[in-house]
Each structure stands twice: as C-alpha cells, then as structure tokens.
Amino acid sequence: MARLLVVRVGAMGDVIHALPAVTAIRAQHPDWQIDWVVDERWAPLLQANGIRGPVVDTAMPVAIRAWKKSPLAWKTVNELLGFRDLRGRYDYVVDMQGTLRSAAIGRLAGGHALSGYADPRESMAARFYTRRITRQGVHVVDQGSALLGAACGLMVQPAVPQLPEEAWAANWAEELIGGMKLCILAPGAGWGAKQWPAERFGLLAQRLRELGYICMVNAVRKDEPLSTRVIASSEGAAKVAICNVAGLIALVRRASLFVGGDSGPTHLAAAMGVPLVALFGPTDPQRNGPWGPGSKVVLRDAASVTSYKRRPELDPGMANLSVERVLEAVQSII
C-alpha cells in the first residue's frame, strides 16, 4: 500500500478540477492512503463530517484566509511549520497548485519527495520541487492527471468524482426545493470580467419560470450585492439560497439545470453531471471549461479575448451574450 499526499488548497473550481485525477488513482488503488491539504472552506468537497470521503481518506484543512490576512503572525508560521510532522509519512507528495504557499507546504511535508509542474503558476515554487514534471494536455483536468500519473508512476485517465453529502444539507435541500424543478443560477465569478450582468440573470429567471422552473441564486450571505441584484431584476422569478459548500453540494445534486459563468459552483455542477449552460468570457474554455459527464453548452462570444488578468470591467464578449442566446442554449439541453 502506497501513501499519497495531494496539495491543492483552492480555489473551489481548482479543487474540483484536481478531483478527477485523484479519483482515478483511488479507482486503480483502493488500498492506498490518499490525503489532501485543502483550504478549510473547500474541505466539504472531499469529506463530510470528517469521515473518510469517496475519494480522500483525510482532508487536512488549512486556514488560508487567516494566513493571507496575517502571513507573518506566529500562529500562521507555527501552523505552516507543523507540516514538518508529516515528513516520512508519504511515498508521494504532489503539489497540484503551483504557488509558493502550496510548494512550501509540500516541501515541509514531503522533504525530498515533492513533485510539481516544471512551469508552476508562481515560478519560484519550482525551487521547492525535487521532481519537476513537464506540463501535458490542454485542459487543466488533463494536466493534473498527467502530473499525478507521472509523480506516482501510473497511467492516469481522469475519472468522474463522487462528492460527499452531509445529512443536514440533504434535508435542508429537500425542504427548500419541495419536489419542484430547480434551476440554479450562479452569477458570481472570481473577477468582474468573468461575470454576466446580474440583470440578465434576472430576466433569464423570468423566462425559465415560463418553462416551469423554480430558479435559485446561490449566495453565502443574505446581503450579497450580486445575488440581490439578480433577485430584484427577476420580478419574483428567482429566490436566494444561502448556503455553505455542503449546502451547495446538496442543492446542485437535486438541480435539473444550472446556468453560470467560469466559477466554482459551475464546475461543481459539471462534475456532478447536472445539465449546464456555462457562460465564458476572458478565460479559455478549452483550458478551464466545465468538465463532467452531463449535457452542457459552453457559450463564448467571438469578442472575448483570452486573458487571466483580474479585470473588474465587463468583458465585451460577455456583454454580447443576450438572454435569448442563453435561453436557446438552455432549450437545446432540456
């Protein structure tokens, strides 16, 4: 039995895109010990109630937001250095993130057994790796599978992951939906250029109501400005669903349709096989598009130019995506 430690702390979509590779390892070697260092916010993607998940034995949560807020605080440094206690425990340690923080965690935990991309997201991270692996593939899911396979000496084809579910979340989602045909709208994204206008989500909700859907906008708090704008422009056709990651997993599992941009919730829906319309602007769907088994349409206007700069302004291509065009895509998959 081998022991593998994956370091991929976030963000949500990135963790989801790393899961197919780790799922494939689990399928090949069900007896392996597979642990994962992850931002505490995303741990419910791997485990429910601290119990061994479908893919991962142990999720090791780290307080990334607190670390960013106080990077030189003794508590932060002490928690980081605590990964030295894992040294010698694992046969393979793989940094699937490619940042200085993730590489440092991996090196502390793995000593001289740390693998990572030869061209990581932050170039200085490569100095921590004892094995640098050439990136292969176009989509990040394929890249992650090639990285993990090379690190562990296996042929890895990405596999559809299983997501855990907490009992309270399942009960909450059932009561909220009440047996109705649910469409989840996800207007948020990492930065403004990736977001389709909130008012158009509201208009889309009105049209989907005519097709028999109850529309819910996922939000982490009641006063979230983006979801509030969608609700206001929907004229009662959309409601807000305030939930954490465990609640979102339960809600998505019961959805009949999902519409969103390049965001964590959208990638979650794709991984879970929910019929999906994904709205892409500056990011390239060939590299970052939704990956999963369900029906999906990816809309990207020709005016969008690939860029990963975190611009707040609305992308011209996203501006060109009309409600009618999105509705046509919805009707093609329902």
Give pLDDT, residue 112.
81
Nearest to 13 by CA among 123, 126, 141: 141
pLDDT value at residue 3: 96
Each residue's pLDDT tens digit, 244-298: 999 999 999 999 999 999 999 999 999 999 999 999 999 999 999 999 999 999 9
**Cα-flanking dihedrals φ and ψ of residue 276, to 5°?**
-140, 135
Q: Are strands 182-186 and 214-219 parallel, antiparallel or unpaired?
A: parallel
pLDDT at 111: 83
**169 vs 162, 249, 256, CA distance in Å?**
16, 8, 18
Task: Give the pLDDT confidence score for residue 316 in this predicted structure.
Answer: 97
Q: Please choose, from the candidates 205, 315, 196, 324, the residue with its C-alpha nearest in 3D space to the C-alpha of residue 257.
A: 205
Fold of 3-152: Rossmann fold (3.40.50)
Q: By three-state DSSP, how is residue 116 classified?
A: strand
156/23 Cα distance (integer angstroms): 10
Closest CA to 43 of 26, 56, 34: 56
d(Cα 158, Cα 267) in Å, to the nearest integer? Answer: 15
Q: Can you list the alpha helix ranges (DSSP code H) found in the chain?
A: 12-28, 64-69, 74-81, 100-110, 140-152, 167-177, 198-210, 225-233, 245-253, 264-271, 285-288, 316-320, 323-333
DSSP letter at 60 equals: E
Look at the alpha carbons of 261, 262, 265, 266 in this order and tell me if their dihedral is positive or negative: positive
CB 314 within 8 A of CB 193: yes
3-state secondary structure of 328: helix
Residue 49: the pLDDT is 85
- pLDDT in the model for residue 326: 98
Let me know the angle formed at the C-alpha of 232 by 228 and 236, rounded to the nearest 5 degrees.
Answer: 120
167-333 architecture in CATH?
Answer: 3-Layer(aba) Sandwich (3.40)
Fold match between domain 3-152 and domain 167-333:
yes
Convert the pLDDT of each residue in 159-175 to its tens digit: 999 999 999 999 999 99
State the pLDDT at residue 321: 98
With a cut of 70, list the residues of the chain below it in pLDDT: none
* Amino acid in position 237: A
Q: Give DSSP secondary structure letters for 165-207.
A: --HHHHHHHHHHHTT--EEEEE---SSGGGPPPHHHHHHHHHH
Instruction: For residue 279, give the DSSP letter.
Output: E
Cα–Cα distance, 219 to 210 (Å, whole number): 24
CA-wise closest residue to 238 among 209, 278, 280: 209
- Describe the crossing of helices 100-110 and 74-81 by its angle, rounded to 10 degrees: 50
pLDDT at 221: 87
- Domain residues of the chain, as ranges? 3-152, 167-333
